[in-house]
Structure 1
Amino acid sequence: MRSPKRQGEASMNQSNKEMMSRLSCEAECRNLLLRAAWFVDHNEAARLTDVFAEDATLQNPSGSLVEGHPAIVDFYSEPSADRITRHLITDSLFSEILDDEAFAVTSVLLWAGSEEDEIGPAGRPARGKQILGRFDDTFTRTESGWRIKHRLISFELFQHFD
C-alpha cells in the first residue's frame, strides 16, 4: 500500500501531465488558427491543407458548406488578385479538450484593402468593411498532429469605410 504522501505525489504528477497536455493542445491549435489566417492573407491558399483535416468542413457566413481540401483551397483562392486582407486572430477560448478532439471559439477582426492603392507613410487605406467575426472550430488529432476538422464562420459587427 502506498503512503499518503506518495499517493498525493502520484495524483499531482497526473494533474501536471493533464495540464501540460491541455496547454500543448491549445498551443498547437492556436498555431493552426494563426497559420490559416496567414495563408489566406498572403495568397497561399494551397497551404491550408497543412492546417485543415483532409475531410474538414467549413461553413461560411452565408450558410454554404465547403467540404474537403480541394474545396477549401478553391474557396480561399477566389478573391480578386488585388485584394489585400488581414485577419487579426484573438481571444481563443477553448471550451473542451478531449484526447482526440478540442473545441474553441475565436474572435477575428478582418480588414481589407487593395494593392492598387498607393502605399503611404501609414500604409494603404482600408476599403469596404472592417468586420468583427468569430470562428467556432472543432479540432481533431490526426497522425500529423492537430488539424481543424470543422469551422463555422460568423460575422457579428462591421464598420463601413467610404
Structure 2
Amino acid sequence: MKKIFYSLLVFSSATLFAQKNPSTRFAVANDVVGTVDMFNIRKDIVQSKNAYKTAATLPQSLKKYSFIAENGLTEVKIKQGQGGLDRLTIAKLNNQHQLPNDNLVLIDGYEFKDPATAVYGDLLAKMEVKDYNGKKTLYITTQR
C-alpha cells in the first residue's frame, strides 16, 4: 500500500510542477517566441498584431507553434529597424544551465522540445533547474 501511495505522490508532484499557466498567451515575431504581455509593454516596436484563437486557425507559417496555441497565438510584426531584442535558442538556454542541448525546456508549463526554437530574452523572468520525470529540466516562468 505504501508503494502505491508513494507512486501516486511522485506522479502528482511531477504533474503539479508541469502545470500549464492558463494566463500565458504566446506571441511569435520574426520566428521567435515571446508573450503578448511582453509586446504590450514594448508597444513602440510593434507595427501590427494578428491574433489566432485556436491552433486550427493558424496559418501554415505558424503551424509549428501549435503546441503553444492552447490560449490562442498572436503573430506580431515588428517595425523596420526595431528587431534588436535579445533572443536565445532552447539549446543555448540548456547550455547555460549545464544541461544537454536537446533537453526539453518548460516555459510556464509548455514543453519546448525543439532545440532550434528561439525565444525572446524579455520573457525569461525566472529560470530554475528541477527534476521532471526523472530528468533535470529547465523551468522558465514568464511572470515577473
What TM-score, normalized by structure 1, do the two folds share?
0.27
Q: Which has more strand, going by share of residues?
A: 1
Q: Which has the higher contact order (CA 8 A, sep 6+)?
A: 2
- Structure with greater Cα Rg: 1
